[in-house]
Amino acid sequence: MAIIVNLDVMMAKRKISSNELAEKIGITAANLSILKTGKAKAVRFSTLDKICEVLDCQPGDILEYRKE
């Protein structure tokens, strides 16, 4: 897919672990892993909202479009 999820980069910058982030945004660690590995087919606005709130960032910091 042409959409790249840079969640792990942002998590590293904020020094937050996967389990901690999953707990704070209210999703399972397995679902966060799906999101991080780029296997997700869609992201809910509510999930994106919580991620941005917890990581104090913009959606553009997490999602990136790269032409294939």
Partner 1 sequence: MVNELTGWSQMKSLRLSRLLVLGMFFLLIVLMFTSYIIAGWFSAISVGKGVIKSNLTGAVTAMICICDIFALIAVASLHKLLSNISKDEVFIPQNALCLRVISWCCVFAGLTMTFFSLWRYEFLFTAFFAMFLGLIIRVVKNVFEKAIELKSENDFTI
Which residues of the chain form contacts with partner 1 (CB under 8 A)? 27, 31-32, 34-35, 39-44, 47
Whether 33 and 3 have beta carbons less than 8 Å apart is answered as no
- Closest distance to partner 1 from the beta carbon of 39 (Å): 6
- Closest distance to partner 1 from the beta carbon of 26 (Å): 11
CA dist 52 and 24 (Å) reads 11
- Closest distance to partner 1 from the beta carbon of 1 (Å): 11
For residue 52, CA distances in Å to 14, 61, 63, 64 come to: 12, 9, 11, 14
Nearer to partner 1, 13 or 39 (CB): 39
